[in-house]
Structure 1
Amino acid sequence: MIASGITTSGRAIPSYRANGIKVLWLFAMVAGLGLLLTLSVAVGTRYVGWADIMAALGGKVDSIDQAAVAVRIPRTLLAGLAGASLGLAGAIMQGVTRNPLADPGILGVNLGASLAVVIGVAWFNIASADAYIWTAVLGAGVSAVFVYTIGSLGRGGATPLKLALAGVATSVAFSSMVLAVVLPRADIAGGIRSWQVGGVGGVTFSAIAHALPFLVAGFALCLISARKLNSLALGDELAAGLGERVAVARAVAAFGAILLCGATTAICGPIGFVGLVVPHICRLLVGVDHRWLLPFSALAGACLLLAADIVGRIIARPNELEVGIVTAFVGAPFFIWIVRRQRVRDL
């Protein structure tokens, strides 16, 4: 019988049993997502009864309580979509680079998108949602290529440590450039600084609709890359021997992740650490097979960002903490733990 996993005691797990465990985790993840979606609509800085919640879900807005729920609905949808996008993008970036430290925030992709949007607003007066998204996607792509190029220089090529250092240095540089662009412009400084924290509040269905084509395209490109990423995990030479076009496979998967990061950053601002934390947790649940890992990373990313948004609403009542602050509190210690692990050198 073919074994597809190993227990902590070193014994092989039969394939049918391993797949059964994965299916159970899938049902648990979907149930958790449903619960968090419900809580996100029901919980906020203002208490709302279930009668008003059901009325608002039905499209009725005749009171302040129902209006509060109506505002939470697009916010909940965006938190789920953004979390799924960032979780999936993180898994793709770790698979493409074979780097356990890869993450849209750590590799500077989010800050590249952020800098591009800030320059577009300050110097070219972009204002439409489509212009924001296209600009963010372009900035994310340029930043990803730049970081990978810098991390590939010298001996050993693009090692995890070199990519992480190049990404962190690029993020710091881009963050300083954002400040340099924003400081002379008092008319946009307040809005830009609020957006840069990273949050899902105040969104409308219209804004989500503008980003949806980019997100759908990004999800499709990432998910169809699962088998190719499994081949790339074996090494470039072996993958090429199996018939894979290595450069094309990497480019397609990376482009999907860039679409997800750019569109999400344009709407929410740069939200860090979701793409780092989620894939590592999912590997503990379903292993390294990208056919399972990618969908699980999307679901777990949605759960994480929804939970972070709910915590941000209730932890500082009557005020709120933006979701980007909450994820930073969770992700920063996790990043330190990953760096300190001696065994994590490649996937």
Structure 2
Amino acid sequence: MDLEELLVEEKKSAEILRKECIMLVKKEKSVKSSQKEAEDDLELVNREKQQKINELDVVVPLRLHQIMFVVNGSVPSDQSPALVLDMTELTRLQDRIKQLQEEKSQQKDLYIDARKQYVRLTHDRKDMKVKIEVLEKQCHELMMMKFGREVDLEALQTLSGNRRLEELKQEKLLREAAYAKEIKQWDAKVEEARDRLMEVTRCNTERVLCMTTLMDQNRELERKINASQRKMGNKSQDYRRGVDQVEIQRLQQLVKIQSQQAEALWREIGLLSRKGGHVLPPAQARLPRSPPCPTPQDAPKPAHKDRGVSSASLKHQTQADRESINTLLSNSKHFLINDCSED
């Protein structure tokens, strides 16, 4: 709101200043016109004043040697027709008189030369008139000999001019026809070139469209291949996880059975060592056979470090248990053999 009020106030002040400017311009114009009128009036007054001053009688003191107005060798008593001049102005007028006399003599010489030229030209005109009469007679005789009558030379020249004009018109028509034919040929060439250009443009457009289609197909195939690879990777990962689980369960069961066998052997060895009897080693229980691992036909087999490490550790533990069991069996057999030999 404050800005709007300030803007309104500024507009009002600008309007007031504009009106004042217009008024000042009008005043300036009126002052200039009044000044011009005053200057004109002043000039008129000065002119009238000068006229009045010129009408006044003025007494001019002169010396005797300055008076040149002499009549019959003496100065007249009435000197009203005399003229008072400055010496420089008198000298200028005298020089001008001399210049005019020289110009007069020059103009007289020019007049004499012009008069002589006029006389010469008059004689030349008479001679040319005689020559023209002779040539007219010769022309009349030639026309009578050639045409048998008098012919208007101006009309003859006009006809000859028209013939030339007709020849030029005919030549113009021939050239226009040749130019039109050439233009038609060039138009045909331009049209043919335009058709070739359109054909090339169409072929290039088709090729560009084909290339664009192939690129789209290529991108689509790459996308499908990537999707199938991701899918097959997931499948192989699930398959490997299942195989590892089965193998782990089998190894755990094997370890459990072997640990049971080892405990049984240790118990029998303890009994034999205390009683001194002959005891046959217990029959070894059959280990469960590991089920065949199904292998997918086209599934890739990616390496899994964590599962590989767990399987390797289980196999190592199973191998150690087997070695310990075999050691116990060999020791028990050796102990039994020693007992039999003592008996």
Fold match by TM threshold 0.5: no
**Computing the radius of gyration over CA atoms, which structure comes out larger, 1 or 2?**
2
State TM-score, norm by structure 1: 0.19
TM-score (norm 2): 0.19
Q: Kindly indicate whether structure 1 or structure 2 has the higher relative contact order, using CA contacts under 8 Å at least 6 residues apart.
A: 1
Give 1 or 2: higher helix fraction: 2
